[in-house]
A and B are shown apart, each in its own frame.
Chain A
Amino acid sequence: MNPFDPRSALLAKHAQHVVLVHFPIALFLMGAACDFASRWMKNATNRATVAAAAHLNLIAAAAFVLPTLATGIAAWQWQLAGQKLKGLLFLHLAMGSASSLLICTVAWISLRQRRAPGSTLPAGYLLLELLTSVIVALTAHLGGFLSGVNVPG
C-alpha cells in the first residue's frame, strides 16, 4: 500500500467505517440504558444525573452518525465501485440507514425536551429507544457477520 495515496491510506486496507461504527453503537446503547435506568431511580438527584448522562450519550451518538455513514458510503463507492448491492450488503446498508435515522430522531427528541424546561418526553419515547436499540443491534450483528467477527471459528 502506498501510504501517500489518501484512498489507500484511509480506506483500502484499513477500513475507517469498521473503526468508527463502534462509537454510535456504544453511545446510543449506553444512552438508552441510562434513560431506562433513570426511570426506576427514586432519588431525584440520581435520576437527573443519569438522565443527563443519557442525553449526552444520545447527542454524542447522533454526532458520530454522520462520519460513520459517510465512511460506510465511501467504502461502498470506492472499494466496491458503487456497484448495486444485494443480499447481506444491501441489508446492512438499509438497516444502517434506518439506524442512523432512528438515532438522530431519538437524539432530536431528547434535545428538544432539554431545551424546553418543564416539558416532558413524549409517550412512546422509551419504546422508540427500545426499537432503535434492537435495529442498531441487528445492524451491528450484520456488520460483524460481514466483517467476519461474528463468524464461528
Chain B
Amino acid sequence: MAAGSPTVDVKIDNFSVDPATLTVKAGTQITWTNAEDIPNTVVSDNQSFKPKVLDTDETFTFLASKTGTYSYFCSIHPKVTGKLVVE
C-alpha cells in the first residue's frame, strides 16, 4: 500500500458496515475491520476486491486508486452490504 495515503476505517459489526456509504478521494486506503464474533467478508459486486474471510478483529485494506462506485457485500451474510464511492 502507498505510504502516506489518507486512510479511512470501516467497521463491520452487528450485521452492518459503518459507514454504510463511504465517499473518499482517489488514493485513499480503506481498512475494514471485522468487529463481530463471527466471520465476515467484503466482496465488491464487480470483484474489484475479494479478500479472504475476516475472522474477529481481522482487517482488510484496499487502496482506492480508481474513481467509481463500488458496491460490496458479505458473501456469508448477503444482507450485509455497503457502498464505496471514489471521487
Contacts and interface: CB of A to CB of B under 8 A. Distances in A.
**Dominant secondary structure at the A interface:** loop
B23 interface: no
A116 interface: no
B15 A87 contact: no
B78 A15 contact: yes
A89 B53 contact: yes
A83 interface: yes
A80 B50 CA distance: 9
Interface residues on B, range: 10 to 19
Contacts of B77: 147-148
A88 interface: yes
A123 interface: no
B52 A83 contact: yes
Contacts of B14: 153
Interface in B28-82: 38-39, 41, 50, 52-53, 55, 73, 75-78
Contacts of A151: 15, 38
A146 B52 CA distance: 16
B78 A13 contact: yes
A80 B38 contact: no
A87 B77 CA distance: 17
B38 A81 contact: no
A88 B76 contact: no
Contact of A83 (B15, B53, B78): B53
A88 B15 CA distance: 17
Interface in A30-71: none
Interface of B: 14-15, 38-39, 41, 50, 52-53, 55, 73, 75-78
14 contacts: A12-B78, A80-B75, A81-B50, A83-B52, A83-B53, A86-B53, A86-B55, A87-B39, A88-B38, A88-B39, A146-B38, A146-B39, A146-B76, A148-B15
